[in-house]
Structure formats: C-alpha cells, structure tokens
A and B are shown apart, each in its own frame.
Chain A
Amino acid sequence: MHKYGDVIVPIGPQHPALKEPESFLITLRGEKITASSVRLGYNHRGIEKACEERTYTQGVYLIERVCGICSHSHSTAFVQAVEEIAGVEIPARAKYIRTLIAELERIHSHLLWLGVAGHEIGFDTLLMYTWRDREVVMDLLAKLTGNRVNYGINTIGGVRRDVSVKQKEEVLKAIDTLEKQTKYYIDLATKETTLLKRLQGVGVLSHEDAISLGAVGPTGRASGIARDTRKDDPYAAYGELDFKVISVDNCDVYGRTLVRLGELIESFSLVRQVIAKIPDGPITVRVPRKIPAGEVLSRYEAPRGEDVHYVRSNGTEKPDRVKVRAPTLANVQSVSKMLEDRYLADMPIVIAAIDPCFSCTDRLIALRDTQTKKSNTVIWETIRLKGIEWYKQQGVDFTALNKKLSKKLHL
C-alpha cells in the first residue's frame, strides 16, 4: 500500500540507467527502497513467431539478432538444435572455430559489462578504459567473421569462414594485451576503495535464494552455484578443453564482478588452447534443406548464463516451433530480491549486475478471459486509432501536427 511519505520512482521504460526499455517501479522512503516490481514487455519483437515463417538458413540470421551482445550464443544454440534433429555431425574444425568465436564473444561481453558497471556507479574512467580495450577484441571479431557484433559465422552444418594462420597469430597477440589489461582491472577492482564501497554487500542474493529463483550464469555462480553448461553438458569443443568453473560465495555485486573477471582469465586460456589444438579439415558438411520431423532442446552457456533453445521441425524447410529462453529471463526475478532494503543509489548497479539484456528476454503476454477462455486479438491499426481518440478526449489533437510532420518527412 501507498503510505504517506513513500514516493514511487519509475525507473524505465526510458531511463539513463537502463540501456533498453524496461520498467522497474521502485517505492522509496527517503533514500531506502521499500518495494520494487519488474515489468517486462516493452521490447517484444516476435522473433520466435517470425522464425516459423522462414527457412532454417534464414532463421539462423534472425536468431542471431535476438541479442546484440551474445549473438553467437543464440545462433549456435539454434544451429546445434537443427543439426541434432537433422542428425549431422559437424567437422571438428568447425567445432573449434565456434568455440573460438564463443570465447572471444565472452571476452567482449564481460569487458563491456565491467565498463557498464563502472558507469552505473559513476566511475566513467573505468568505462572508457575497458571499452577501449574491448575494441581490441571487437576488431579481432570483425577480422575473423566479417562483422563486429552479428558475426554470421554459423551456418547449419558448420561455420562459414575459416581461420588462417595469420589470423591465429593476431588472435594470440590480442589475447596477450587483453590479459595484461584484465589483470590490471582485477587489481583495481579488488583494491580501489570507492569501488569496493559501492560493490561489497550490495545486491545480496543468498545461495538458497539463488537456487529457488533459478539464477543462472555469473549471477548464480557468484552465489556459490558452480554450474556451467560448458562443463555440465559440453557442446562444440568444450569437452576436449581444460578450464575451471569460476564460482565464489560472496553473493553480492562484488562477487559477480569477481566471477566475470575470473572468467575473462579462463577465456584467455581457452582461446589459447583452441588455437593450439585446432585440427585441420573441412569446415562444413552438407545438410539437406528439409529437416526431418523431430524436436530438440539445446543448451548453451552464453556470457550472461544458460541459454536454452527449443526447436521442433515437421519435415519441411521451415521450423514448426522455435522457443528461446534467454539467460536474463532466468535472472530477472532475482532483481526484486536483491533490491530489498537497499538504497536508491544501489539500484543501477544491482540491475546492471545481472547483465540484463531485455530485448532478448521480452515475452508477449496474452490476456485471456477466464470464463470464456477466449483471447482478444487487437490489430495495430485499432490500437493506433484508439490512441488518437483517447488523446482527442484529453483535448490534445495531433491531426495538424501529423500533417506537418508527414509533409516534412516526404520532402
């Protein structure tokens, strides 16, 4: 209930702390948060449905655009599912290249997160430095795959581009510089007083809560859940590589920072192993355009946590159903728990600490009448007209403005 002296602060749908539209309603008493609620659904794009309208080959590029940061995660999870239904085994070299891009993507995502975390607590210098170093890995990805974010390296039955000897050397060189920088950031994050003051003891999610709320990825691993799909259910080349699952039991934002920084170091070693072990051979196998009927659940450890794709085929060129469960959907429930009894100032870093990616997460909610079990379908035009009508009733008429605007736009 709304008590006297409580202020409800809307964080979002548009707010500088959030890079994507999402709504957090926070009830404040003074500077303290007394209640908070999360509302999803501002950025729904209907990708799952759109996949059913496209062939598998086209679907790969669409699925890749689920997320701008972990695009390789989504496309790999999808092609793995399709390959499993089709019953093809991709060449070993393709597996290694997928792993290489996946780890480079993890490096770029975690460096990005560190910068964002710095920005959320007002430490813009850290943001500038980490994003400068992130450019190294971005350039590397552009060289290897042909694009900076939506790599387009995956195709059904393998990968689209090979890695040359020269590129391998470039990767190793870039990894060396990045490792040096990351070690400095670890040093900084564990020693800078103001940073520690803002991170330690903030956004606490106990081990039990993390399990019951289903936290995944670095959020879960910072609460002592040592789960990593790369280890538990190895895909691509992870079964043949040696790495540690980083988990700490700080349970706070500081723990999440430590996990991500530790994973960066592990990723560097993984990239080196991939470069050393990568076998020769073809990079693709032929897969028929028509995929036999079947269904598969594919798991993948994205930088933000476990990413799950479900694909059901019906023997045609197009999938029957595609379902995406992005890691943020598993983590977003824990935000309310983490914000309990904290200050308003902790809100941005607590939300940022799960490394949210809202557009990947967004769901469409269909409202059903419980009596008749019928759902209403409203088309876009009806909503638009209703909006115009509503504003007219409030005394705001956009007709003249609309005419002006459309004139200007068509000039």
Chain B
Amino acid sequence: MKRPGKIAKLLIKTFFKKPITGNYPADGSGMPEGFRGKLKFNPSACIGCKMCMRDCPSGAIEIRKTGEKQFEAEVNLARCIYCGQCVDSCLKKALEITADFELAKLDPAQLKVILNAANKEQPKA
C-alpha cells in the first residue's frame, strides 16, 4: 500500500528517545580498544634495525642513535597514516599503538614528536 508520510510513526517514536549524537569533545569520543592512533615507543627494546623505517608507507618514522645501544624515534604525526605497519614490522616489539587520536595542533612544528628514553614527548627543537 502506497501512502505518503509513512515515516511519521517512527519520527514520533524517535522524538521521545535519547539523542544518539554526542556533544564532542565535551562528552569524549569513545574509540574502541585496539584503535590505531598515536605510536608508543619503548627505547629499551629497540635494537636499531630500522625495519619500521623501511616499511613505513609514508616515511613518518625515523630511528636515531643517541648513545650506546640507545635509540630515539622521531614520528611526524602529520605524515603518519596510522596504519600500524611499523608495529607489525618491528622484530623486538619496541613499537606499540595507542588509541590516542586527538592529535591536532595549531603549530605544524609540534607535530614532529620525538619519543626517547625518558618516554616523554617533546617537540622538535
């Protein structure tokens, strides 16, 4: 049976339901576990094989030697496509992925992040 306004019933029903949309960013985002966001680097596990650099599709990661068996990783968050291939390529599981995805910055220079031994982020000087 054709009839106009078939959606009316659903509209009225929906009116009394709680809205499905949220008030971002106030209400948070709720990305599930295992979401591919920002990288985490464990310098003590890194052996400097640079497999991650070789496999990175966008050339976003750079491993540098800072001392005897000491490495730091510089990640360009603007270039990173968050595919997580470096995590798969890493032989020693020195890289890890976190669900942190709210990485926008006003200053492009702050998007280059150095992950070092102290595991503290600092923008590139």
Contacts and interface: CB of A to CB of B under 8 A. Distances in A.
Q: Do chains A and B touch in the complex (CB under 8 A)?
A: yes
A146 B34 contact: yes
Contacts of B45: none
Nearest to B107: A411
Contacts of B1: 191
A142 B2 contact: no
B61 to A, nearest CB: 13
Given A54-B57, A57-B85, A147 B6 contact: no
Nearest to A141: B32
Interface residues of A, number: 31
Contact of B55 (A57, A135, A152, A194): A57
Interface string B1-19: 1111111001100100000
A132 interface: yes
Contacts of A61: 57, 81, 83, 85
A342 B4 CA distance: 24
A125 interface: yes
Interface string A55-71: 10111011001000000
Contact of A139 (B7, B32, B84): B32
Contact of B82 (A147, A187, A192): A147
A143 B32 contact: yes
A62 B54 CA distance: 15
Residue among A58, A139, A160 facing the most chain B CB atoms (10 A cut-off)? A58
Interface string B82-106: 1111001100000001000000000
**Is chain B's binding surface mostly helix, strand, loop or mixed?**
loop
A240 B12 CA distance: 44
B125 interface: no
A187 B5 CA distance: 13
B75 interface: no
Contacts of B32: 139, 142-143
A377 interface: no
A150 B83 contact: yes
Contact of A146 (B36, B54, B55): B36
Contacts of A188: 6-7
B56 interface: yes
A124 to B, nearest CB: 11
B36 A152 contact: yes
B7 A196 contact: no
A380 interface: no
A259 to B, nearest CB: 20
A105 B36 CA distance: 18
A305 to B, nearest CB: 26
**Is chain A's binding surface mostly helix, strand, loop or mixed?**
helix
A109 interface: no
Contacts of A184: 10
Contact of A191 (B6, B31, B55, B97): B6
A132 B6 contact: no
Given A146-B34, A152-B36, A58 B55 contact: yes
A371 interface: no
Contacts of B35: 142, 146-147
A155 interface: yes
Contacts of B85: 57-58, 61, 152
A143 B55 contact: no
Nearest to A155: B88
A193 B83 contact: no
Nearest to A132: B20
B11 A146 contact: no
Contacts of B97: 146
Contacts of A58: 55-57, 85
Contact of A125 (B7, B31, B83, B84): B7
Contacts of A191: 1-3, 6
Residue among A57, A132, A150 facing the most chain B CB atoms (10 A cut-off)? A57
Contact of B3 (A139, A142, A193): A193
Interface in B5-62: 5-7, 10-11, 14, 20, 31-36, 54-57
A247 B10 CA distance: 30
Contacts of B36: 146-147, 152
Contacts of B55: 55, 57-58
B28 to A, nearest CB: 14
Nearest to A147: B36
A139 B84 CA distance: 19
Given A142-B31, A146-B35, A191-B1, 16 more contacts: A58-B85, A62-B57, A129-B14, A135-B20, A139-B32, A142-B35, A146-B34, A147-B35, A150-B83, A152-B83, A152-B84, A184-B10, A188-B6, A192-B2, A192-B3, A193-B6
5 closest residue pairs by CB, A with B: A58-B57, A193-B4, A146-B36, A61-B57, A143-B32
24 contacts: A54-B57, A55-B55, A58-B57, A61-B57, A129-B14, A132-B20, A135-B20, A139-B32, A143-B32, A143-B34, A146-B34, A146-B35, A146-B97, A147-B35, A150-B81, A152-B83, A152-B84, A188-B6, A188-B7, A191-B3, A191-B6, A192-B5, A192-B7, A194-B4
